[in-house]
Structure 1
Amino acid sequence: MKKIRLGFVPAHREPFDENWAEEMRKRCLDSFAGIEGAEIVVPDKKLTKNGCVRNDEEAEKTIALFAEKGIDGLLIGTMTFGDEVAALSVASAFQDLPILLFGTKEGPFTADGGRRSDSFCGTLSVSSGLHRRQIPFVFGGLVFPEEEEFQLIVSDFVRVCSVCKGFIGARIGLVGPRPERFETCIFSEDELMRQFDQRVVPISIPDIMKMADPAGANAEEIKKIAAKIKKKADVSDVAKSTIGKMAGLEYALFTFAQDKNLSAMGVQCWNAMQEVYGISPCHVMGRLTDAGVMTSCEVDIYGALTMLFQYQAALGSTVPHFIDWTIKHQEMEDTFLAWHCGNGPASLACNADEVKLRYHSILGESLGIDRSQGTGEFQLKEGIVTLCRLQEHEGEFKMLITNGEAIHSDEKLRGSWSWVQVDDLDELYGTLIEEGFVHHASMIHGDYSEAIIDACSFLGIEPIVV
């Protein structure tokens, strides 16, 4: 994933200590250099005096620099009693981007007992101006730049900017209609357009099938994909023809994603795939997610967008698993089964050697084993996880956000799955019911809850934190 480009405004006011402002600017840049995924754009000492921003002329130069570089977010730091008019001019020019405001701590008094910085006064001046202009921002505290807590705050802010950059204007594929009996998967396309400038790109199952023919014009590319599938999974329980069809479907869906510049897609995974094409697409969908195209089941567009939210928050370092909340553990308290039919990305397997292709555990009986092969079945790896779900009612979006821990089990269950322990499962389940969330969610390894909460605030999404 490309680095997130942050514009840094080192705000200063004359006649406060010039040397102190210059020193704090350097210490900030040294601190930012260690932030994963960040690329800092800052006026240099040729563009503005000592590389700080203190007046209208320097603000205009900084705005031009940031516009030229195409920044993804804005860091405003008061090196001293920063000039709020200059800082707010830059903020106003980029008010549609995430903004982080922070102040710097006071250094030692001067020899005659004076203050060198008075940064907090400047921070208040900037923050009140942001409120006055109704420009949203997050506050990073009053800090010395080297402090670990501040570095964590900036690191989270990079993730916030990544989410907003990837979410606003995203293109989402819609592959076939949702299941007729799944009202769960309805969505409001016009609200996605209006609020997030997103575009839903539909394609029919027959159009996908044309591209997916293993014996057609794309046969050589499809053979290469089939070889990769066989290399990464135990295919002993599925027919050779199933592997070819899976490879063809992967080629078709990935080509669709590339041609239309899609970040995610929702796929009609039953019953047409089984009845018309003769496989279950589950493992293919997991492979697409592993390839960076977030792919949800049952044409769940809000589910695909939840996956995209998490993937961007992780800076592409890991991928999510599209899950059902499902059952409480029969014996362990506050533990539930995070499960789906066999769509788990193989990169998340607790043991790569145990990824096995099988027939669909639910549809096999009704549609036939021969026509329902193609699930990728395994237990997911252990570790801290973040669970989310985007939902919309009457144009108002909200995001369920909670954390848990995926734990190991010696059980042999169907599908792709993990037992997840949370602090209070009854509270979580109650919140899901009372807030109108559905049974689908997205789970990603790692704790990205703070970044997701802040991203929601910039995007106008209400965070529901459990």
Structure 2
Amino acid sequence: MEKIRIGFVPLHRYPFDETWAQELKKRFINVIEQRFRDFVELVYPTEKDVKMGLVTDDEDAEKTIKLFRERGVEGIVLSTLTFGDELAGARVAEEFRGAPIIVFATKEPEAIPGGFRRSDSFCGTLSLASALYRRKIPFLYGGIVFPEDKEFVNSFDNFIRVVSIYRRFVGARVGIVGPRPERFETVTFNEAKMAEKFKQRVVHITLLEVVEETKKLSDDDPSVQRIVSEISSYADTSQIPREALLKIAKLETILRRFAESKKLSGIGFRCWTEIQRYYGISPCHAMARLTQSGIMTACEVDVYGVLTMIIQYAASLEQTPPFFIDWTIKHPEKDNVFLAWHCGNAPPALCAAKCGLLYHSIMYRDVGVEKAYGTFEGRLKPGVVTISRLVEYDGEFKLFITKGRALEDEKPSFRGSWVWVEVSDLDKVYRTLIEEGFVHHASMIYGDYVEPITQFAKIAGIKAVVV
């Protein structure tokens, strides 16, 4: 992934100890550049830019703003290295209103002889926070820290994930292939509100156009052959005809071309039953491979589902793909365990063992087995998971967030992509989903990302519903 550009604002106020402030600044820079160098490009004013390399007044603030603009900074860290000048900090924040901003206070050094306070950072942090609050600038608070503290490292780690989510979510372009299923009102979306609140765009693509473009590809097209080879290397393809495998590869090739040419962040696909009837496969595995490669792809033209996947993928710093699931049944024997399932769209990296390509266990009843091939089926791996879902009612967006654990449990076994997931209180989860208007689709990702997703929601003006 492209490195996240973080702007560091080292705030200081006279007559507190500028030597201490300069020392702390260096320590923050060293910790960030050493521990987060794979993901972060840190931008900060030097002594060539501002007095002492510290931001102390309006002139320093303007120079820092110019520097950040030139470098394309995406998130702001305001740190009161001493008492800090709240107006200088607020001025920088004003220019980056809406972008993720976090405030850190710093711990006190030893007092010098005579009892003079060298820093008094927390007192100044209150002034800075009140200035941001007064200006209605959303921000996060990272605590009172030294840069070497675990608390700082954890807070900064969460913050860069917030920035990662923000930069992928705001301005996202979601392609939709075909209309939503007529009986699935659950996946309606408000295109105008998406544009108004988050600068997002829905890009409409007809299913006919996609199918016609796939038909132009030859079986020996290099992209098609590469995809067939890749699939054969990790999946059991013994139960799927060669012709169906080629059709999967052609569909993936064309969807990738649309994603590239239209600069799509993700795709909502009309996955039944026209694609089976008029093209001759189920698109599940093509969708799974797109998701694994970073193009979030959701079933049944679920635009808010795509956006939820984008949130989760960005929270992982693009290190692991999400799985687009249905909330389904309770475990027949275990409390607080439910089945996370979908027809056959799990990214290959999530399989517990070698999954196989089969025919769609539902669609074959309407279209026949020969037109239903393309699902990627098997149990997913165990591990900690985060489950989320974005919805919107009356222009208000809200985001369900919970954590669970995918289990090794293999019984009973199911067709499709699936895993049993244990949560702390399944009845509360189900009740919250029902009473808050959340739908039957969700996104599940391996790892605990509850904190950064919740913090992102605060910055973005989305109501977080955490269970």
Q: TM-score, normalised by structure 2?
A: 0.97
Q: Which runs of 5+ in 2 are unaligned?
A: none
For residue 141 of structure 2, what is the aligned residue in structure 1?
139
Q: Which secondary structure does the structure 2 equivalent of 1:326 belong to?
A: strand
How far is 1:87 from its partner? 1.2
1:349 to 1:217, Cα distance in 2 relative to 1, 3 A: closer
Match of 1:288 among 281, 287, 290: 290
Letter matched to residue 83 of structure 1: D
1:90 and 2:101 matched: no
1:456 to 1:334, Cα distance in 2 relative to 1, 3 A: same
Letter matched to residue 460 of structure 1: G
For residue 8 of structure 2, what is the aligned residue in structure 1?
8
1:264 and 2:253 matched: no
The answer on whether the counterparts of 2:308 and 2:443 sit within 8 Å (CA) in structure 1 is yes
The answer on whether the counterparts of 1:214 and 1:244 sit within 8 Å (CA) in structure 2 is no
1:218 to 1:198, Cα distance in 2 relative to 1, 3 A: farther
1:463 and 2:456 matched: no
Q: Partners of 2:132 and 2:327 in 1: how far apart? A: 40
Q: Partners of 2:107 and 2:324 in 1: how far apart? A: 44
Q: Partners of 2:379 and 2:243 in 1: how far apart? A: 26
Q: Partners of 1:174 and 1:323 in 2: how far apart? A: 18
The answer on whether the counterparts of 1:79 and 1:117 sit within 8 Å (CA) in structure 2 is yes
Per-residue CA deviations over 1:304-355 (Å, capped at 9, x if unaligned) read 110001001111000100000100000000000000000000011112xx21
Q: Which secondary structure does the structure 2 equivalent of 1:92 belong to?
A: helix
1:31 and 2:31 matched: yes
Q: Which secondary structure does the structure 2 equivalent of 1:370 belong to?
A: helix
1:398-417 alignment, distance < 5 Å: 398-411=398-411, 412-417=413-418
Q: Partners of 2:459 and 2:218 in 1: how far apart? A: 47
For residue 205 of structure 1, what is the aligned residue in structure 2?
207
Letter matched to residue 421 of structure 1: E
The answer on whether the counterparts of 1:173 and 1:265 sit within 8 Å (CA) in structure 2 is yes
1:383-402 alignment, distance < 5 Å: 383-402=383-402
For residue 426 of structure 2, what is the aligned residue in structure 1?
425
For residue 331 of structure 1, what is the aligned residue in structure 2?
333
Q: Which secondary structure does the structure 1 equivalent of 2:7 belong to?
A: strand
For residue 244 of structure 1, what is the aligned residue in structure 2?
246
For residue 77 of structure 2, what is the aligned residue in structure 1?
75
Letter matched to residue 58 of structure 1: D
The answer on whether the counterparts of 2:84 and 2:125 sit within 8 Å (CA) in structure 1 is yes
How far is 1:366 from its partner? 2.3
Letter matched to residue 371 of structure 1: K
How far is 1:219 from its partner? 3.0
For residue 55 of structure 2, what is the aligned residue in structure 1?
53
Q: Which secondary structure does the structure 2 equivalent of 1:325 belong to?
A: strand
How far is 1:30 from its partner? 1.7
Q: Partners of 1:271 and 1:158 in 2: how far apart? A: 41
Q: Which secondary structure does the structure 2 equivalent of 1:402 belong to?
A: strand
The answer on whether the counterparts of 2:284 and 2:343 sit within 8 Å (CA) in structure 1 is yes
Q: Partners of 1:431 and 1:85 in 2: how far apart? A: 42
1:312 and 2:309 matched: no
Q: Which secondary structure does the structure 2 equivalent of 1:68 belong to?
A: helix
Per-residue CA deviations over 1:200-250 (Å, capped at 9, x if unaligned) read 011111100122127549833222222222222111111111011101100
Letter matched to residue 107 of structure 2: K
1:220 to 1:39, Cα distance in 2 relative to 1, 3 A: closer
The answer on whether the counterparts of 1:214 and 1:248 sit within 8 Å (CA) in structure 2 is no
- Number of residues of Structure 1 aligned to a counterpart in Structure 2: 464
How far is 1:152 from its partner? 0.3
1:454 and 2:440 matched: no
The answer on whether the counterparts of 2:219 and 2:246 sit within 8 Å (CA) in structure 1 is no
Q: Partners of 2:301 and 2:464 in 1: how far apart? A: 24
Per-residue CA deviations over 1:242-270 (Å, capped at 9, x if unaligned) read 01110110011111111111111100000
Letter matched to residue 247 of structure 2: K
How far is 1:49 from its partner? 2.3
Per-residue CA deviations over 1:25-68 (Å, capped at 9, x if unaligned) read 11111221213622210001211222110012111111100000
1:83 to 1:406, Cα distance in 2 relative to 1, 3 A: same
Report the RMSD for the aligned CA atoms in angstroms: 1.2
Letter matched to residue 390 of structure 2: L
For residue 369 of structure 1, what is the aligned residue in structure 2?
369
Letter matched to residue 166 of structure 1: R
Letter matched to residue 328 of structure 2: T
Match of 2:167 among 165, 168, 178: 165
Letter matched to residue 73 of structure 2: I
For residue 345 of structure 1, what is the aligned residue in structure 2?
347
1:6 to 1:325, Cα distance in 2 relative to 1, 3 A: same
Q: Partners of 2:62 and 2:414 in 1: how far apart? A: 61
Q: Partners of 1:169 and 1:220 in 2: how far apart? A: 33
For residue 277 of structure 2, what is the aligned residue in structure 1?
275
Bigger drift between 47-56 and 395-404 goes to: 47-56
1:193 and 2:195 matched: yes
* Aligned residues with identical type, % of pairs: 50
Q: Which runs of 5+ in 1 are unaligned?
A: none
Letter matched to residue 29 of structure 2: L
The answer on whether the counterparts of 1:211 and 1:218 sit within 8 Å (CA) in structure 2 is no
Q: Which secondary structure does the structure 2 equivalent of 1:145 belong to?
A: coil
Per-residue CA deviations over 1:87-134 (Å, capped at 9, x if unaligned) read 111111111211101111111110122111011121011111001111
The answer on whether the counterparts of 1:103 and 1:119 sit within 8 Å (CA) in structure 2 is yes
Q: Partners of 2:363 and 2:77 in 1: how far apart? A: 52
Q: Partners of 1:79 and 1:218 in 2: how far apart? A: 62
